[in-house]
Amino acid sequence: MERLLRDSRVLVTGGAGFIGSNLVESLLLSGNKVVCLDNFSTGKRENLAGFSDNPDFKLIEGDIRNYEDCEKAVRGIDIVFHQAALGSVPRSIKDPVSSTDVNIGGFVKILFAAKEAGVKRFIYAASSSTYGDHPDLPKVEDKIGNALSPYAITKYVDELFASNFAKTYEIETIGLRYFNVFGRRQDPDGPYAAVIPKFTKMLMEHKSPVINGDGTISRDFTYIDNVLQANHLAAIINDKAAINQIYNVAHGERTSINQLFSYIKEIAGRFDEKILDIKPTYGPERAGDIQHSLASIRKAQRLLRYAPTYSVAAGLEEAVEWFWNNL
């Protein structure tokens, strides 16, 4: 069964970032012409090193907050994969102005430019943080609570704009609510680094990772290859009922931070057995954190034919090995 997008002209915003660069790579491999728009605020040039010479790849260094950069990037494009944003809940609590500027202001600019240029479909990175304080588990797409951070608000507002644009203009939109994505090329450094690359790097350096709270909070950690699959499926689906929708993109499996630490330690311990003796340090809880997050992926399974191939354990095997060889 054909499950990959081929022979299309696509734009990946945020293509120098973690998810974006993996998306660029997989879209090139399946035979598309790929434009990347990035301002390198959190993205890295080294993430693009593998394809910068590829004749089907074009980099536009620019900002989604600049409408002219958006117009340039969407010219001649069939499908947009919008990944550019300022991620991280704590970052948005520290600096809500920048997160709002990029994640809402930039979102509307690239979406409007895409619509003006006649782009057929706009697929965008939404977020599980939109579920906020809603108590139900697993999370189903139409039941959301109050947002717990400026970041969550920005991602929800994006969904409202996308849905409004789909109704008002002739542009198809699909929002993918990612749940804690991890994998190769994810940044382990800085105050807003995600937990898996951060823990792995600290263990590699024989340091004790800090767990915020008692480690019982849980997440639906999702390996990057599952996310790539969801993006390809969102690009090729032709069924009307599946378009102008929002989907959870996850594995549908809950892992506590304590369990996660043990998994990573066990895998990294195969490379260096000193790691097996390291214990975590427990610190204060973080503001804005949801306690438990677990996705229902039934909607994506039914309408997109999404079938994630990597469990958390299988994804961690590949990710930790990648970090071991590349950090």
Ligand X SMILES: NC(=O)c1ccc[n+]([C@@H]2O[C@H](COP(=O)([O-])OP(=O)(O)OC[C@H]3O[C@@H](n4cnc5c(N)ncnc54)[C@H](O)[C@@H]3O)[C@@H](O)[C@H]2O)c1
Q: Please identify every residue annotated as catalytic.
A: 151
Cβ density class 272-303: b for 16+ within 10 Å, e for less: eeebeebebeeeeeeebbbeebbbbbebbeeb
Comparing CB distances to ligand X, the nearer of 174 and 278 is 174
- Choosing from 11, 19, 104, 278, the residue that interacts with ligand X (CB under 6 A) is 19
CA 244 to each of CA 117, 138, 164, 213, 228: distance values in angstroms, whole numbers, following the listed order: 19, 22, 10, 38, 19
Using the rule CB under 6 A, give the single segment among 38-46, 232-240, 268-276, 293-301 that binds ligand X.
38-46
Q: Is 178 in the site for ligand X (CB under 6 A)?
A: yes
Q: Is 38 in the site for ligand X (CB under 6 A)?
A: yes
Q: Is 58 in the site for ligand X (CB under 6 A)?
A: no
- CB neighbours (10 Å) of residue 54? 15
**Please, what is the minimum distance in Å from the beta carbon of residue 40 to ligand X?**
5
**Please, what is the minimum distance in Å from the beta carbon of residue 19 to ligand X?**
3
Work out the burial of residue 323: count CB atoms within 10 Å of its CB; fewer than 13 is exposed, 13-18 middle, 19 or more buried: buried
Q: How far apart are CA 33 and CA 45, in angstroms?
A: 19
**Please, what is the minimum distance in Å from the beta carbon of residue 14 to ligand X?**
3
- Amino acid occupying residue 16: A
Q: Is 102 in the site for ligand X (CB under 6 A)?
A: yes
Comparing CB distances to ligand X, the nearer of 64 and 268 is 64
Q: Which residue has the tokens 């500027």?
A: 101
The C-alpha angle 203, 327, 228, rounded to 5 degrees, equals: 105
Using the rule CB under 6 A, give the single segment among 26-34, 59-67, 142-150, 234-242 that binds ligand X.
59-67
Q: Is 18 in the site for ligand X (CB under 6 A)?
A: yes
Comparing CB distances to ligand X, the nearer of 58 and 269 is 58
